[in-house]
Structure 1
Amino acid sequence: MSARSLRHYEEEGLIVPGRFSNGFRDYCQSTIDRVLLIRSLLESGLPVRLIRQVLPRLTDGSEAGTDVVDAEFLREVQGYRDRLAARIAVLSDQQAALDAYLREARRTDP
Structure 2
Amino acid sequence: MKVKSEVGHQMLIGELSERTGVSRRLLRYYEDQGLLESARSTSGYRVYGEEAPRTVQRIRTLLDMGLTTRTIASVLPCATGDGNEPLELEMCPSLLATIRRELAELDERIDELQRNRGALAAQIGC
Report the TM-score, using the length of structure 1 for normalisation: 0.59
Structure 2 residue 69 is the aligned partner of structure 1 residue 48: yes
Q: 2:51 maps to what in 1?
A: 30
Q: Check the 8 A contact 1:17/1:26 in 2, yes or no.
A: yes
Give ranges in structure 1 of 5+ residues lacking alignment: 60-64, 87-110
Give ranges in structure 2 of 5+ residues lacking alignment: 1-21, 81-89, 111-126
Q: Check the 8 A contact 2:38/2:47 in 1, yes or no.
A: yes
Q: 1:96 maps to what in 2?
A: none
CA apart distance, 1:76 = 2.3
Q: Check the 8 A contact 1:19/1:26 in 2, yes or no.
A: yes
Instruction: Considering fraction of residues, name the structure with more strand.
Output: 2
Structure 2 residue 94 is the aligned partner of structure 1 residue 73: no
Q: Secondary structure at the match of 1:66?
A: coil
Instruction: Considering fraction of residues, name the structure with more helix.
Output: 1
Q: 2:119 maps to what in 1?
A: none
Q: Secondary structure at the match of 1:51?
A: helix
Report the TM-score, using the length of structure 2 for normalisation: 0.52
Please, what is the CA RMSD of the aligned residues? Answer: 2.6
Q: 1:101 maps to what in 2?
A: none
What are the equivalent positions in structure 2 for 1:73-92 lying under 5 Å apart? 73-79=98-104
After the TM superposition, which parts of structure 1 deviate over 6 Å for at least 4 consecutive aligned residues? 80-83
Q: 1:2 aligns with which of 23, 28, 31?
A: 23
How many residues are treated as equivalent by the alignment? Answer: 79
Compare CA radii of gyration and give the structure with the larger one.
1
